[in-house]
Amino acid sequence: MINTFMNSLMIDYDIIFFTIKQTDDIIKITYKNIKKEIVLKRNIKNNCFECISHQLLDDGYSRVKINQKGIRLHRLVYCLFHNIELNKIKGLVIRHMCGSKNCSNSKHLLPGTHEQNAWDRKMHNMTACGERNGSSKLNEIAVMCIRDNENGMPDDYYADMYGVTIDTIKRIKQGKSWKHLL
């Protein structure tokens, strides 16, 4: 099933109308006069949506150019899917709660400060050779994020995001699992 929606964003004083087509595995983003359609593909291992149409830059992010303005793809996707103007996230970083810079799954993205981002990175590095290797879908940063629940998201949101059961999320919140992080 294809889910299609449209959204507009203000980019360099122009309103750009985007069309987003989404299936379970592919997201396609276009707008008038686009040079190259933006295509994201779901990675079945972690539910991350990775860009397959544009090259990754040296900093590990995909970037698109709209109206001569270079925009990091995950920032664009965050705004399109959450219906937020790009200037509203100016000065904020869009954090990858999954730890994958190349991911543009709007559910894996959360706005935050540079300090939070630095902390995220530290946590991801710390856990890189630990539980992320095995079959566990959760890592320490995910657990912290679920416990903090800054945005007040329901349990099923996290269950869906990390591909685990609602019961697993509840146990984390209640401190019955991942006790060493309490």
Query: Using CA atoms, how far apart are residues 52 and 40, in angstroms rounded to an integer?
Result: 6
Residues 6+ apart with CB under 8 A from 115: none
Q: Does 94 bind Zn ion (CB under 5 A)?
A: no
Minimum distance of Zn ion from residue 99's CB (angstroms): 8
Q: Which stretch binds Zn ion (CB under 5 A): 20-28, 99-107, 151-159, 165-173?
A: 99-107
Minimum distance of Zn ion from residue 42's CB (angstroms): 10
Structure tokens at 180: 């060493």
Q: Does 168 bind Zn ion (CB under 5 A)?
A: no
Q: Which stretch binds Zn ion (CB under 5 A): 12-20, 71-79, 97-105, 167-175?
A: 97-105
Q: Which of 72, 74, 95, 108 binds Zn ion (CB under 5 A)?
A: 108
* CB-based contacts of 129-138 (< 8 A; 24+ apart in sequence): 132/99, 137/46, 137/162, 137/163, 137/164, 138/162, 138/164, 138/168, 138/172, 138/178
Binding residues vs Zn ion (CB under 5 A): 48, 98, 100, 103, 105, 108
